[in-house]
Chains A and B, each alone.
Chain A
Amino acid sequence: MSAIEYQAPSFKLEDLWTDRRWRAIFVQILALAGLFAFLAYIVNNTINNLQTLGIETGYGFLNDPSSYDISQTLIDYDSRSTHGRATIVGILNTGLIALCGIITATLLGFTVGVLRLSGNWLISRMMYCYVEFTRNVPLLLQILLWYALVVHSLPRPKNALEPLSGIFLSNRGLVLPGPEFGSGSWIIFIALAVAVAGAIAFRRYAKRIQETTGKIYPVISISLSIIVVLPLLAYFAAGQPVSLNWPALSGFNFKGGLTLRPEFLALWFALTIYTASFISEIVRAGIQSVSHGQTEASYALGIRPNWTMRLVILPQALRVILPPLISQYLNLTKNSSLAIAVGYMDIVATIGGISLNQTGRALESMSIVLAIYLTFSLSISMVMNWYNKRVALVER
């Protein structure tokens, strides 16, 4: 009896798809080759097409004067500014609508989410109707509807509504008295920064005290008063440098003050109301995800209902709420690109719209737009992944 000899594995062609290890490598090489072939095909076609059409490419046009005007600009801009600057104006406008939308949608969303869980039958039914109506109707339609309402239903500037003295509402938008910063107003901003830093420090201190001794400070009211009082003191100390710029009707439009244009208003309303309905569902699910036993246990320990919410329920709910909440923020930012439907000058409308069109640099302009959105989204999702890892429950 001879021992069964060990046969060294010899490579056969069919191993490529029968042997697990070979197959893995084979499939990957195939996929990689396919991908490269696909990319090479596209790049090759593009180069060929550009050559036959004689189109030059390059980002040099960003330094040329744009020659067009933009209605809402957060930085100085006129038709002699460059396409590059127009791009920045667009980015800032996207940022502005996203920021405003996120703040109001969060406030509205949390309110609605909590009210939906309220024991009050009427209120919770009303909130249910609101949520179902707004999230089942396309956002674009809502934007157009709000825009049509503002432009068609509100009076013209001559007969503008004046709900409060100095505030005008017309189909040219909402005009508010705007602050005008005189010399010395920097003191107020410094005071504000100091106050915010102080409030954060106080919150940390109060938390440490609470953790070690159980003594609870009224953190919110104290921080709020710090943030309000300090800048106010600075305002008077600096000799009241900030004055209000009252708008007045002159000629065709209102002059002075702060104008929120109908395009901005429609987009803001629609984004807020639409996103808030999603946020409210997230908040509701988050609160419900905390087992009722937690509440009962907290009561049993003698913690009062308000504090139960703040110390027991919310910290646990937030872990469930935060990831989808942030992805809603991302959605809101991406959805703000629908601005183009009403002519709000965001990034898609400036560089991806007018500049693209006036210069004919389609590849370059679209690549800039895509790159900006990608940078923004990917950095947010990186932060989110990091946060997810940090708060994830550690199990086996």
Chain B
Amino acid sequence: MKVLSGFIAAAAVVGVAATASASTLDDIKAKGFLQCGVSTGVAGFAFTDDKGNWQGFDPAVCQAVAAAIFGDKSKVKYTPTTGKTRFEALKSGEIDMLARNTTWTLSRDADLKLTFVGVNYYDGQGFMVPKSLGVKSAKELDGASVCIQTGTTTELNLADYFRTNNMKYEPVAIETNAEGRTNYLAGRCDVYTTDASGLAATRATFENPNDHVLLPEIISKEPLGPLVRHGDDQWGDIVRWTLNVLISAEELGVTAANADDMAKNAKNPEIKRMLGTEGKFGPMLGLRQDWGLMAVKAGGNYGEIFERFIGAKTPIGLERGLNAQWVNGGLIYSPPVR
């Protein structure tokens, strides 16, 4: 045992950065980067490019937060997490924030002690089936084999939905979206179910996307958003307001391209407050004065990020729908920076 502890001590020299945790922000500043949890890969939402760098709708939030802290969007390290490992990674402090398609629920808030700082995508659970099956409604799925990611809320919704409709099904448990895709295409399951956005993203990567249809039923509400752990409200505020700035920026017409100009010359004081040329809002959060400007310049405003990774012009082809700004009849709404 002495050998064992000696061994651990020796190993500790290699890869352990032990710091008494004063606050998450201080820790992040001390280690010089933000550790961000993402999914293992959902087209458009989180994926690695050819060089192995993480890109997508969810990593964009991490980059904005890193930019708000360091003024440099590249100071992020990513930890790919599965439905299974994500909460342990966050709770145990392995990652500072989790930005992946994670649904905001009461028990995750109150029982798992996690704080959802907002919603960056309003989603709902849907079903995808091959066209050749001729299925028109989820109510016709009695007896089907359903591919389902384990450890997700969709798994629970699915059980409830089939139970209330008095139908039977064979759950085929999978770990990652890639695995689900492979099994679905090979015909191991008749139906693939996950968030409708995820289904659209997955379908976009098929060779023949048109051979598959999304059924009309949306069986759940899935508000997806970034989250942090309980216990450090300052850190929660930072992530929350970085997200809010991205949303406000779209509403106020601030883009990555015109942000510098707007910060100096905008007439609207709200824009100036947000971009840090008026007031002391950055220091209130414990951040730099120009945090808002940096966050917007990192990847553009909410709308720009949406269009770049998952919007109608991308292969994913998602409409704004519920995720339009509130002024356009959607649910995306940011409290004022004041």
Find out whether the CB atom of A353 lies under 8 angstroms from the CB atom of B188.
Answer: no
Q: How large is the interface on A (under 10, 10 to 19, 20 to 34, 35 or more residues)?
A: 35 or more
Question: CB < 8 Å: which of A31, A67, A345 contacts B156?
Answer: A67
Find out whether the CB atom of A171 lies under 8 angstroms from the CB atom of B188.
Answer: yes
Find out whether the CB atom of A349 lies under 8 angstroms from the CB atom of B188.
Answer: no
In the complex, whether A79 has a CB less than 8 A from a CB of chain B is yes
Scoring B residues 226 to 258 as 1 if CB is less than 8 Å from chain A, else 0, what string do you get? 000111000000000000000000000000000
Find out whether the CB atom of A31 lies under 8 angstroms from the CB atom of B1.
Answer: yes
Number of A-B contacts defined by CB within 8 Å: 105
Find out whether the CB atom of A354 lies under 8 angstroms from the CB atom of B151.
Answer: yes
Bound: A38/B162 CA distance, A: 50
Find out whether the CB atom of A78 lies under 8 angstroms from the CB atom of B173.
Answer: no
Given A53-B230, A151-B186, A353-B151: A38 in contact with B91 (beta carbons within 8 A): no
B236 to chain A, nearest CB (A): 14
Given A68-B155, A151-B186, A172-B188: A252 in contact with B91 (beta carbons within 8 A): no
A150 and chain B: residue at smallest CB distance:
B188
In the complex, whether A152 has a CB less than 8 A from a CB of chain B is yes
Question: CB < 8 Å: which of B1, B158, B230 contacts A35?
Answer: B1
Find out whether the CB atom of A252 lies under 8 angstroms from the CB atom of B145.
Answer: yes
Question: CB < 8 Å: which of B111, B159, B187 contacts A68?
Answer: B159
Question: CB < 8 Å: which of B83, B150, B160, B172 contacts A67?
Answer: B160
Bound: A343/B162 CA distance, A: 21
Question: CB < 8 Å: which of A70, A255, A357 contacts B143?
Answer: A255
CB-CB under 8 A from A30, the residues of chain B are 2
The 8 closest A-B pairs by CB, nearest first: A357-B151, A343-B173, A79-B159, A252-B144, A360-B112, A251-B143, A156-B187, A151-B186
Which chain B residues numbered 122 to 160 have a C-beta less than 8 Å away from chain A?
A: 133, 141-145, 150-151, 155-156, 158-160
A146 to chain B, nearest CB (A): 13
User: Is the contact region of chain B dominated by helix, strand, or loop, or is it mixed?
Assistant: mixed
Find out whether the CB atom of B1 lies under 8 angstroms from the CB atom of A357.
Answer: no
In the complex, whether B57 has a CB less than 8 A from a CB of chain A is no
CB-CB under 8 A from A52, the residues of chain B are 231
Bound: A68/B4 CA distance, A: 40
Question: CB < 8 Å: which of A38, A49, A255, A345 contacts B173?
Answer: A345
In the complex, whether B163 has a CB less than 8 A from a CB of chain A is yes
Which chain A residues numbered 34 to 67 have a C-beta less than 8 Å away from chain B?
A: 34-35, 38, 49, 52-55, 67
In the complex, whether A381 has a CB less than 8 A from a CB of chain B is no
Bound: A70/B150 CA distance, A: 11
Bound: A62/B230 CA distance, A: 25
In the complex, whether A291 has a CB less than 8 A from a CB of chain B is no
CB-CB under 8 A from B313, the residues of chain A are none
Given A67-B159, A156-B187, A262-B188: A349 in contact with B173 (beta carbons within 8 A): yes
Bound: A205/B221 CA distance, A: 71
B192 to chain A, nearest CB (A): 13
Which chain A residues numbered 77 to 136 have a C-beta less than 8 Å away from chain B?
A: 78-80
Find out whether the CB atom of B113 lies under 8 angstroms from the CB atom of A55.
Answer: yes
Bound: A267/B144 CA distance, A: 23
Which chain B residues numbered 174 to 202 have a C-beta less than 8 Å away from chain A?
A: 174-175, 183, 186-188, 190
A63 to chain B, nearest CB (A): 15
Q: A71-B173, A357-B150 are in contact. List 17 more A-B contacts (CB 8 A).
A: A67-B160, A68-B171, A69-B158, A79-B163, A151-B186, A152-B186, A156-B187, A171-B187, A171-B188, A250-B143, A253-B145, A262-B188, A343-B150, A354-B151, A357-B83, A357-B151, A362-B88
Scoring B residues 102 to 114 as 1 if CB is less than 8 Å from chain A, else 0, what string do you get? 0000000001110
Find out whether the CB atom of B173 lies under 8 angstroms from the CB atom of A358.
Answer: no
B114 and chain A: residue at smallest CB distance:
A360
B26 to chain A, nearest CB (A): 15
B184 to chain A, nearest CB (A): 11
Find out whether the CB atom of A53 lies under 8 angstroms from the CB atom of B91.
Answer: yes
CB-CB under 8 A from B206, the residues of chain A are none
In the complex, whether B5 has a CB less than 8 A from a CB of chain A is yes
Bound: A78/B112 CA distance, A: 25
Bound: A80/B164 CA distance, A: 12
Question: CB < 8 Å: which of A38, A54, A358 contacts B5?
Answer: A38
Bound: A356/B150 CA distance, A: 11
Given A152-B186, A252-B144, A253-B170: A360 in contact with B111 (beta carbons within 8 A): yes
Bound: A80/B159 CA distance, A: 9
Find out whether the CB atom of A353 lies under 8 angstroms from the CB atom of B171.
Answer: no
B274 to chain A, nearest CB (A): 33
CB-CB under 8 A from A262, the residues of chain B are 188
CB-CB under 8 A from B145, the residues of chain A are 172, 252-253
Find out whether the CB atom of B172 lies under 8 angstroms from the CB atom of A71.
Answer: yes
Scoring A residues 1 to 44 as 1 if CB is less than 8 Å from chain B, else 0, what string do you get? 00000000000000000000000000000110011001000000
Find out whether the CB atom of B2 lies under 8 angstroms from the CB atom of A151.
Answer: no
Scoring B residues 284 to 295 as 1 if CB is less than 8 Å from chain A, else 0, what string do you get? 000000000000
Given A52-B231, A354-B150: A38 in contact with B170 (beta carbons within 8 A): no
In the complex, whether B84 has a CB less than 8 A from a CB of chain A is yes
B47 to chain A, nearest CB (A): 23
14 intermolecular pairs with C-beta atoms under 8 Å apart: A38-B1, A53-B230, A53-B231, A54-B231, A67-B160, A68-B171, A69-B162, A79-B160, A251-B143, A252-B143, A253-B145, A262-B188, A343-B175, A354-B155
Bound: A349/B172 CA distance, A: 12
CB-CB under 8 A from A255, the residues of chain B are 143
Find out whether the CB atom of B188 lies under 8 angstroms from the CB atom of A151.
Answer: yes
Find out whether the CB atom of B1 lies under 8 angstroms from the CB atom of A34.
Answer: yes
In the complex, whether B281 has a CB less than 8 A from a CB of chain A is no
Question: CB < 8 Å: which of B5, B143, B163 contacts A253?
Answer: B143
B334 to chain A, nearest CB (A): 29
CB-CB under 8 A from B169, the residues of chain A are 69
Bound: A67/B158 CA distance, A: 9
In the complex, whether B54 has a CB less than 8 A from a CB of chain A is no
B187 and chain A: residue at smallest CB distance:
A156
Find out whether the CB atom of B173 lies under 8 angstroms from the CB atom of A360.
Answer: no
In the complex, whether B87 has a CB less than 8 A from a CB of chain A is yes
Find out whether the CB atom of A343 lies under 8 angstroms from the CB atom of B172.
Answer: yes
Find out whether the CB atom of B2 lies under 8 angstroms from the CB atom of A54.
Answer: no
Question: CB < 8 Å: which of B87, B151, B170, B186 contacts A171?
Answer: B186
Question: CB < 8 Å: which of A31, A54, A250, A343 contacts B113?
Answer: A54
B40 to chain A, nearest CB (A): 15
B127 to chain A, nearest CB (A): 13
